[in-house]
Amino acid sequence: MQKYKDELIEIPKGLIAEYNQLCLFTKIQVFGEEELSHWQCSLTLPKKIMVFKKENNNADKVSFQYVLGDKPGFKYSIRTFTGSLSTNTSHLG
């Protein structure tokens, strides 16, 4: 199974108070300078990862990794201030 580099993103403090969802946005370079950006086709629709509520608003980092294989998809982990880790895989198709 082929995996791409794991990308770790830090969620700025206070941002969760302003926004209530964590979404993955995709941009696809088709050929040369031609690209499909957000909302242009079904492949670039935002993927909702998590809805922040009072009981789960302590996320401080999220990591994404694209995994190829029989069921390709984005593997993501959400890390909290307390050090706990939640890992999920969102399969495409």
The one-letter code for the residue type at 85 is L
Task: State the pLDDT at residue 60.
Answer: 80
Task: State the pLDDT at residue 93.
Answer: 41
Task: State the pLDDT at residue 37.
Answer: 93
Measured CA to CA, the distance from residue 45 to residue 59 in angstroms comes to 23
Task: State the pLDDT at residue 85.
Answer: 60
The separation between the first and the last C-alpha atoms of the chain, rounded to the nearest angstrom, is 17
Domain limits, the chain: 7-91
- Give CA 12 to chain center in angstroms: 15
What confidence tens digit (pLDDT) does each residue in 33-83 have?
999 999 999 889 998 887 877 656 677 888 888 888 888 888 888 777 666
What confidence tens digit (pLDDT) does each residue in 13-39 have?
777 777 888 888 889 999 999 999 999
